[in-house]
Structure formats: C-alpha cells, structure tokens
Amino acid sequence: MSELVESVKISVDGIKLVKRASAQKFFENIVNRSLEDRFRLLLKLLFVRVFFGQTFNALYSLFTLILLIIGGYLVYLGYTTIGSVIAFSGAAYNIYEPITNMA
C-alpha cells in the first residue's frame, strides 16, 4: 500500500514538472504497476480465504458424517444412546466454530 501511496504522491507533487518534461506516461506506468501488484496480492488473499473456508467446511461435514456413523454403530451395539450421539455431534460444532473464526 505504501508503494501505491508513494507513487501517487510523487505524481501529484510533481505534476507541473511532469507536464513540462512530458513524463506523464512514465508516472502513469509507475501507478499502474503499483495498482496491478496490489490487485494481484488481493486476489491471492481472496483465493486463500475461500480455499481454507471451503476446506474447513468440507472437513466439518466429513467429521460429522464419520461421527454419526461411528455413533450409530455404537448405538446398534448398545454401548450408548441416540441422545448422547446427537448431543456429542452438536458439541462438535463448538470445537469447529473457533477454528473457523481464527482462519
């Protein structure tokens, strides 16, 4: 961000010099390059945020499915009740939510 601000400041401060020296294209290129670099960084950030957000959602869905399958099997064997499996799967969200808030 500081490069962009600096290049805009240079362009604005020296506008008379730029007009006299016919260096307008030079300063436009500096500003355009700074904007393109900033745009690329923002795209990378957006990609990373979307990728990890979707990955966490997929892992949570997979974890819930595995938890319900194992819980269903334990209910079938008589080791636990359906209510405890449902309560535990609901509590699993309390583990998942802080992780997604940190990401």
Distance CA 19, CA 12 (A): 11
Q: What pLDDT is stored for residue 28 in this prediction?
A: 78
pTM for this predicted structure? 0.53
Q: What pLDDT is stored for residue 40 in this prediction?
A: 93
Across residues 59-88, what is the average pLDDT?
Answer: 89
Q: What mean pLDDT is reported for the chain?
A: 81
b/e per residue, 57-69, with b = 16+ CB within 10 A? eeebeeeeeeeee
Across residues 59-68, what is the average pLDDT?
Answer: 88
| pLDDT tens-place string over residues 18-58 | 666 666 777 778 888 888 988 999 999 999 888 888 888 88
Domain ranges for the chain, please list them: 2-102
Kindly report the three-state secondary structure assignment for every residue of the chain: CHHHHHHHHHHHHCHHHHHHHCCHHHHHHHHHHHHHHHHHHHHHHHHHHHHHHHHHHHHHHHHHHHHHHHHHHHHHHCCCCHHHHHHHHHHHHHHHHHHHHHC
